[in-house]
């Protein structure tokens, strides 16, 4: 009985930790004013190339097995870096959206709410994907293809740019 209670408490604490991590609590609230300085560059086309199953199969057929595994580990490491940068940028855009959500303009507030929802979804998806990619590095063929990160990042970027047109965000939209 006591073990069950301890496990339940640990599960709740882990859930709270993951939600705080996904929401971007590690990003200071005042970052919205100069968010562009803190955004990390993400080349979505390069990321798509790294996780493209056809590209992976092409390399598998053309390279010796040992060389393919080494290169694939490097490609997965680079994909993890892109995903981590996407999650970081999503946390910043959550803060930007929270600042813009207080706008008196209903269209701006609505765009901010959509940005927050999309950035939160992307962040959660990214944080779920990174462990799978580490597993892919250890056991090739087990991690899956995280193309949803690229799609989510592009959607979030479009919303940030749209919000930037409605609400002055400084250089955020050009930094994405």
- State the pLDDT confidence band at 163, using cuts at 50, 70 and 90: low
140 three-state secondary structure: coil
Q: Answer yes or no: are the C-beta atoms of 148 and 90 closer than 8 Å.
A: no
pLDDT, residue 23, reads 55
Per-residue pLDDT of 20-71, as tens digits, reads 655 554 555 555 556 667 788 888 888 888 888 888 889 989 999 999 989 9
Per-residue pLDDT of 4-24, as tens digits, reads 878 778 777 777 766 665 555
Structure tokens at 130: 């990174």
67 three-state secondary structure: helix
The crossing angle, in degrees rounded to 10, of helices 44-51 and 65-101 is 140
Separation of first and last alpha carbons in the chain: 51
The domain of 92 spans 2-175
Other residues' Cβ atoms within 10 Å of the Cβ of residue 13:
10
Provide the domain count of the chain. 1
């Amino acid at each position: 009985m006591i073990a069950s209670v301890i496990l339940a408490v640990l599960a709740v604490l882990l859930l709270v930790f993951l939600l705080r991590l996904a929401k971007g609590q590690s990003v200071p609230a005042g970052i919205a004013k100069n968010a562009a300085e803190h955004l990390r560059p993400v080349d979505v086309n390069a990321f798509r190339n790294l996780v493209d199953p056809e590209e992976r199969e092409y390399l598998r057929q053309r390279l010796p097995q040992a060389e393919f595994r080494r290169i694939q580990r490097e490609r997965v490491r680079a994909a993890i870096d892109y995903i981590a940068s996407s999650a970081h940028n999503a946390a910043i855009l959550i803060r930007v959206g929270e600042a813009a959500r207080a706008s008196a303009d209903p269209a701006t507030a609505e765009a901010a709410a959509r940005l927050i929802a999309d950035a939160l979804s992307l962040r959660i998806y990214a944080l779920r994907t990174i462990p799978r990619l580490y597993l892919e590095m250890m056991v090739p063929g087990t991690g899956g293809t995280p193309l949803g990160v690229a799609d989510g990042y592009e959607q979030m970027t479009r919303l940030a740019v749209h919000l930037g047109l409605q609400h002055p965000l400084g250089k955020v939209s050009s930094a994405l």
